[in-house]
Structure 1
Amino acid sequence: MRTAKRPLQSQASEAQKQAALRYILDAWEEALHDGIEPEMLANAALFAALADLIDLYGEDAVAKMTTGLSRRIHHGEFTLRRTAQ
């Protein structure tokens, strides 16, 4: 297992975070327009994100960070669009 290369903390400003999200969402929309299925995009995005995080912070730090994802998902932290129920 690899060790952490730096602390698992965001060093980016809020503006950089928003800009990064906009780039990803724009690319996502372009891929959808080109006929890529949302599930394929999601799997590729998760793989790429986790691979980059592991490269930056190490497997242990990323494993620790991902243990709290279920709680964060259930609290709506990752919900960009709310659907009518």
Structure 2
Amino acid sequence: MTTPERSTHMREPVPDHEQKRVALSYLNEAWAEARLDGVDGDCLAQACLFTALAEFVSTYGEEAAATFTEGLASRIRNGEFSVDLPRQ
């Protein structure tokens, strides 16, 4: 049995905004699937927040993660995370 050779071509770096767009698409799809399977939205939100904060801590450390989250309250109050839902 032979194994396929890996491509040795270097890929262009993907811009940060494009990576965020793709990541959000993956998360939206996973969220929709979990909701279809009956997982409560609040449970999903808490699990996502925990996972995201754990990733920040493992990547940047506890102090940097804490500093980042200090600004979240005002951003939430300013509507930065509000989603306009279409009305029927």
TM-score range, shorter chain: 0.7 to 0.9
**% of aligned pairs identical?**
44
Name stretches of at least 5 consecutive residues in structure 1 with no aligned partner: 1-11
Aligned to 2:21: 18
Aligned to 1:30: 33
Code of the aligned partner of 1:72: R
The offset of 1:40, in angstroms, is 0.5
Give the aligned CA root-mean-square deviation in angstroms: 1.5
Q: Indicate the structure (1 or 2) with the bigger Cα radius of gyration.
A: 2
Give the number of equivalent residue pairs. Answer: 73
1:55 to 58, 62, 71: 58
- Output the TM-score relative to the length of structure 2: 0.76
Code of the aligned partner of 1:14: H
SS of residue paired to 1:80: coil
- Output the TM-score relative to the length of structure 1: 0.79
Name stretches of at least 5 consecutive residues in structure 2 with no aligned partner: 1-14
Counterparts of 1:80 and 1:59 in 2: how far apart (Å)? 29
The offset of 1:83, in angstroms, is 6.9
